[in-house]
Structure 1
Amino acid sequence: MDAPGGFRPALSRCIALDADKFAAAHWGKAPLLSRAGELGRPFTDLLSPAAVDELLSRRGLRTPFLRVAKQGKVLAPNRFTGSGGAGAEIGDQVIDDDVMRLYAEGATLVLQGLHRIWPPLIDFARELGAELRRPLQVNAYLTPPGSQGFSTHYDTHDVFVLQIDGVKRWRIHEPVLADPLEKQAWGGHADEVAATAQGEPALDVVLRPGDALYLPRGWLHSAESQEARSLHVTIGIRALTRYALVEELLTLAAGDARLRATLPFGLDVSDPGAIEPELTETVEALRDWLTRTGPAEVADRLAARDWPAARPAPIAPLAQLDFAAALGTGDSIAVRPGLRWQLAGDGPGHVTLRLTGRTLRFPAYCEAAVRTALAGDGPVRVADLPLDSPEDQLVLARRLLREALVVPA
Structure 2
Amino acid sequence: MELVAELELELGHPCQANAYLTPPGSQGFAVHSDSHDVFVFQTAGSKQWEVHGAEGVDDVLLEPGLSMYLPTGTPHAARAQDSVSLHVTLGINQLTWRGLVERAVAPALATVSDAHLPAGYLDDPAQLVGGLADRLDALAREVRRLDAGAAAEQEVRRFLTSRPSRLPGGLHDVLAARDLADDTPVRRRPGHPCVLLDRPAADQVEVLLGDRSLTVPAWIRPALEEVRARPSFTPGDLAAHLDPQSRLVLCRRLLREGLLEAVPASA
* TM-score where L is the length of structure 1: 0.56
Q: Retained in 1: the 8 A contact 2:160–2:208? A: no
How far, CA to CA, are the matches of 2:61 and 2:179 in structure 1? 55
Moved more, 156-165 or 277-286: 277-286
Q: 2:32 aligns with which of 146, 153, 166?
A: 153
Give the secondary structure class of the aligned counterpart of 2:160: helix
Q: Which has the higher contact order (CA 8 A, sep 6+)?
A: 2
Q: 1:400 aligns with which of 254, 264, 267?
A: 254
1:172 aligned residue (31, 48, 51) = 51
Superimposed CA distance per residue, residues 304-350 of structure 1 (whole angstroms, 9 cap, x where no aligned partner)? 55335533652423431343222221223333332244332354654
TM-aligned CA deviation for residue 238 of structure 1: 1.1
Question: Which ranges in structure 1 are unaligned for 5 or more consecutive residues?
Answer: 1-121, 176-198
Distance 1:344 1:335, change over 3 A: farther
Q: Which amino acid aligns with 1:220?
A: P
**For the residues of structure 1 that align with 2:56 and 2:252, how far apart are their CA atoms?**
62
Relative to total residues, which structure has the larger strand share, 1 or 2?
Answer: 2
Residue in 2 that maps onto 1:332:
185
RMSD between aligned residues? 2.9
- Runs (5+) with no aligned partner, structure 2: none
The corresponding residue for 2:148 is: 295
Whether the 8 Å CA contact 2:3–2:191 is kept in 1: the answer is no
Report what 1:344 is aligned to.
Answer: 198
Counterpart of 1:213 (choices 64, 68, 74) is 68
Q: Find out whether 1:139 has 2:14 as its counterpart.
A: no
What TM-score comes out, normalization by structure 2 length? 0.82
Of the candidates 53, 56, 72, which is equivalent to residue 200 of structure 1?
A: 56
Amino acid paired to 2:179: A
Distance across 1 between alignment mates of 2:123 and 2:80: 54
Amino acid paired to 2:126: G
Letter in 2 for 1:231: L
Alignment of 1:58-97 (within 5 A): none
- Letter of the 2:43 partner, please give it: I
Instruction: Tell me which residue corresponds to 1:79.
Output: none
Which whole-Å CA distance do the structure 2 matches of 1:269 and 1:336 have between them? 60
- Taking a change above 3 Å as real, the CA distance of residues 396 and 281 of structure 1, as seen in their structure-2 partners, is same
Count residues with an aligned counterpart. 261
Alignment of 1:371 with 2:250, yes or no, is no
Q: State the percentage of identical aligned residues.
A: 34
Q: Which of residues 163, 178, 184 is equivalent to 1:310?
A: 163
Partner of 1:239: 94
Distance 1:123 1:394 in 2: 27
